Amino acid sequence: MNLSFHLQVINLLAALLLLISFAMLSQRRVVGLVTLFAWQGAALAASTALVAWSTGQHHLYWSAALTLALKVVAMPWFFYRLVRKLDINREVEAVLNIPTTMLIGIALVIFAFNLALPISQMAGTVTRSTLGIAMACVLLAFLMMITRRKAITQVIGFLAMENGLFFAATSASYGMPLVVEMGVALDVLVGVFVLGIFFFQIRETFDSLDLKHMERLKER
Amino acid sequence: MEIYWVLGIPLAGGLFLAAWGNRARAPELNALFSLATLAAAAALTMRIVAEGPIMVGDGWFFIDSFNVFLVALTAFVAFTTALFSRPYMRIEKDHGRLNDARLRLYHSSYQIFIGAMLLALTTNNMGILWVSMEAATLATVLLVSLYRTPASLEAAWKYFILCGVGIAQALFGTILLYFAAEKILGSGGTALLWTHLNGVKEQLEPTVLQLAFVFLLVGYGTKVGLAPLHNWLPDAHAEGPTPVSAVLSGLLLNVALYAVMRSKVLVDGALGNDMAGNLMMGFGLLSVVLAAFLIKRQTDVKRMFAYSSIEHMGLITFAFGMGGPVASFAGLLHMTMHSLTKSAIFFAVGHATQKAGTQAMDSIRGLIRTNPTIGWGLMLGTVAILGVPPFGVFASEFLMITTAMHEHPWATPFLLTALGVAFAAIFGKVQPMVFGETELPRLPHQPALAPVFVHLGLVLMLGLFIPPYLADWYRQAAALLGG
């Protein structure tokens, strides 16, 4: 079990992350999206733990455990419940059709790799080659937020973006200081909780979580 | 020591008020907690004035003249807003727009929000700064949607998602900052401490910092309400309850700009050129011009003043972007003036809309006839924010524009046109609201307007005479910003 083997596994997990990001772009149902989000969290936690093991950065174990607890267990469970309670597992309509979105996604990946190139050349970490993938995940999640119309899919997109950012921090500098990571995790947790309340309010008022009802406030 | 009180009181207040619920005296308790925070902030300020910058708690908190001035301002406006919200929210409840559960949420979140902003201001850790900015947003999302009307829910949603995406950019900026710092300071908690970073800023990798600043500016700039990232701001200000509009506009925008400025100091040191300043000038100027022209089209009074906030934040960003002692001084002065004046205006506007039962400016008429204090408050506040001498806004705007004429003459016509357009638009709309004819009855409740006149009195005083110690203090803070 030498370092290069670990690196290969980390690269494999990184590729998996990217693949899941694309799968999320093409997923039409909310439940499917939640499952994919949980898998993305799992891949992220596994790769973080592996980086921690192979480089001896022990604080990364905490970060991996946080990801596992929050993004693989707690949040997907919460979203499944929400979907059931609010009965919103219908097709997600997208602003653009799926093939077009995928093509834009590919362009974004190329852009992300170019953007990450100068930074990863400066990085001293063994995992620097995955920085491009992390950037690509961030941009793909952003694309998902733009092209989906349901409130819940936007939130999942937002959380997927957060996953990408965490992965970027791990690959560029072996994560952030532990306090900061805990703080970020706390914010995300509170944010999802606030949104849970918020969804019920939206639902109560509009009878739907479709954002097309929420386009009244505009500059006329 | 004082710092723990400054941060502990709002947090304890938030938890206590959540448990206490909206029983009798909850609004008074809210004001009392804010008063205690103000007292602690005053003690902290006195200590900094006497002893100079201090570091507390193993370097976790760092207070110098730049942030202590914002701490004092934040605690002060938070207190006066709590005073204002006491009668205001009671009237809202009598009108049936709020119930006990929502008032409990309001009081509790209000304290947490203030606490989060104070933490953002006093922390030395750029990562915790990010965390507390996000916490401040989360604390106010449910406040914006407090009325549960379709429009307020939409506004809160927009606020949450746009600021969330914005702040995610800032997180990436922070990651890049850490990435650059970790090579020099070593990994671990100290590499994100601002004081440590400031000590080694010349050695930080310029290309990385350049990229980091772009992300930080876009991220925190979304919160400042800089165009073209300002979309959430008018909605959140117009649809939330008025005390929330007052603290969002008067305080949160300042704190976000503070985060940008802390980053700018580091980036300036690393790059040794004007990249950061030029970017800020660009965003600032765009915000001023765009907001001024959008003000003209508004029909909702709170929305109009929200655009005016964008305009003024743009001005301050522009001034800080120019840099130099005079412009930074003017920017800091303008931050103070804008906070005080804009919150005073929102207080007056709040009662005016309660009286008319709507925020549409066409329906608010003749305030001076039926409720002269509200009318005078709104008129004086408007005159002050438009930069009419002798109010303090005039002094800071004058300094900014003269500096711009010297250093960046190309920008002056844009600034002057925008200020002129904003003047004509706002004055033209407020004048009939105050002096027009009305059949509406008097507001049956006693309005809470003492804070309005206290704020405006301070603005007037600072316009006529800035006490020498205060001027010294601003100068010190301006020097910290690289003036």
DSSP B270-302: HH-SSHHHHHHHHHHHHHHHHHHHHHTT--BHH
Q: Is B151 on the interface with A (CB under 8 A)?
A: yes
pLDDT higher than 80, residue A19: yes
- The confidence score (pLDDT) of residue A127 equals 74
Q: B101-144: per-residue pLDDT in tens?
A: 899 999 999 999 999 999 999 999 999 999 999 999 999 998 99
Q: B296-315: per-residue pLDDT in tens?
A: 889 999 999 999 999 999 99
H-type alpha helices, A88-150: 98-122, 131-147
3-state secondary structure of A94: strand
Q: Where are the beta strands (DSSP E) in B165-237?
A: none
**Mean pLDDT of all residues in B314-342:** 93
Task: Give the span between the Cα atoms of B152 and B146, in whole angstroms.
Answer: 7
Q: B56-91: per-residue pLDDT in tens?
A: 888 889 998 888 999 999 999 999 999 999 989 988
**Mean pLDDT of all residues in A62-77:** 90
Contacts of A191 in chain B (CB under 8 A): 134, 138, 160, 164
pLDDT higher than 60, residue A187: yes
Contacts of A123 in chain B (CB under 8 A): 179
Q: Is B131 on the interface with A (CB under 8 A)?
A: yes
**Mean pLDDT of all residues in A39-68:** 89
pLDDT higher than 60, residue A110: yes
What percentage of chain B carries pLDDT values higher than 70?
99
Q: Where are the domains of chain A?
A: 3-212
* Band of residue B389 on the pLDDT scale cut at 50, 70, 90: confident
Domain hosting residue B434, numbered range: 274-483
Q: Is B171 on the interface with A (CB under 8 A)?
A: yes
Q: How many domains does chain B have?
A: 1
B315 versus B23: the higher-pLDDT residue is B315
Interface A:B, Cβ pairs < 8 A = 133
Contact B285, B344 (CB under 8 A): no
**Mean pLDDT of all residues in B206-210:** 89
Sequence-ordered list of residues with C-beta below 8 angstroms from that of A118, at least 6 positions apart, any chain: B207
Contacts of B205 in chain A (CB under 8 A): 122
CB-nearest to B138 from A119, A190, A213 is A190
- The confidence score (pLDDT) of residue A215 equals 67
Q: At what angle do helices B232-239 and B150-185 cross, to 10 degrees?
A: 130
pLDDT higher than 80, residue B468: yes
* Band of residue B356 on the pLDDT scale cut at 50, 70, 90: confident
CA-nearest of A79, A38, A67 to A184 is A67
- The confidence score (pLDDT) of residue A181 equals 84
- The confidence score (pLDDT) of residue B144 equals 93
* Band of residue B402 on the pLDDT scale cut at 50, 70, 90: very high
Ramachandran region of residue B297, left (φ > 0), alpha (ψ -120 to 50) or beta?
alpha
Indicate which of B113, B126, B172 best probes the interface with A, i.e. most A CBs within 10 Å of its own CB: B172
- The confidence score (pLDDT) of residue A195 equals 84
- The confidence score (pLDDT) of residue A219 equals 64
Residue corresponding to tokens 């600032």: B284
H-type alpha helices, chain A: 3-26, 30-55, 59-67, 75-86, 98-122, 131-147, 151-173, 178-206
B189 to A119: CB separation less than 8 angstroms, yes or no: no
Helix or strand holding residue B435 (H, E): helix B412-435
Q: How many Cα neighbours within 13 Å face the side chain of B435?
A: 8
> Is residue B356 domain-resident?
yes
B131 to A183: CB separation less than 8 angstroms, yes or no: yes
Q: Which of A42-51, A54-63, A116-125, A202-211 has the lowest mean pLDDT?
A: A202-211
* Band of residue B228 on the pLDDT scale cut at 50, 70, 90: confident
- The confidence score (pLDDT) of residue B52 equals 85
DSSP string across B201-220: GGGS-HHHHHHHHHHHHHHH
Task: Give the span between the Cα atoms of B308 and B323, in whole angstroms.
Answer: 23
Task: Give the span between the Cα atoms of B481 and A176, in whole angstroms.
Answer: 27
- Burial of B463: CB neighbours in 10 Å, binned 0-12, 13-18, 19+: buried
pLDDT higher than 70, residue A92: no
Task: Give the span between the Cα atoms of B50 and B176, in whole angstroms.
Answer: 36
Q: B247-302: per-residue pLDDT in tens?
A: 999 999 999 999 999 999 999 988 888 899 999 999 999 999 999 999 988 999 99
Mean pLDDT of chain B: 91
Mean pLDDT of chain A: 84
A173 to B235: CB separation less than 8 angstroms, yes or no: no
> Is residue B92 domain-resident?
no
Task: Give the span between the Cα atoms of B136 and B296, in whole angstroms.
Answer: 31
pLDDT higher than 70, residue B483: no
**Mean pLDDT of all residues in B205-211:** 88
> Is residue B483 domain-resident?
yes
Q: Which amino acid is at B381?
A: G
**Mean pLDDT of all residues in B456-461:** 92
**Mean pLDDT of all residues in B415-424:** 95
Sequence-ordered list of residues with C-beta below 8 angstroms from that of A138, at least 6 positions apart, any chain: A112, A161, A164, A165, A168, B168, B172
